[in-house]
Amino acid sequence: MPWLDVNGTRLYYEDTGGPGAPLVFSHGLLWSGRMFDKQVAALRDRYRCITYDHRGQGQSDVWRVDTVDMETVYADGVALIEKLGVGPCHFAGLSMGGFVGMRLAVRRPELLRSLILMETSADPEPAENVPRYKALNFVARWFGMRWVADRVMPIMFGRTFLEDSARAAERAEWRRRLMANRRDIWRAVNGVVRRRGVYEELSRIRTPTLVVVGAEDTATVPAKAERIHAAIAGSRLVKLPRGGHSSSIEEPALLNAALEEFLRERA
For each of the domains in the chain, give its residue range(s) and CATH number, in order of start: 3-124+196-265 (3.40.50.1820)
For 73-124, the pLDDT digits (tens) are: 999 999 999 999 999 999 999 999 999 999 999 999 999 999 999 999 999 9
pLDDT digits (tens, 9 = 90+) for 167-212: 999 999 999 999 999 889 999 999 999 999 999 999 999 999 999 9
pLDDT at 64: 81
- Rounded to an integer, what distance in angstroms lies between the CA atom of residue 233 and that of residue 64? 39
What confidence score (pLDDT) does residue 267 get?
76
For residues 226-245, average pLDDT? 98
246 near 220, Cβ under 8 Å?
Answer: no
pTM: 0.97
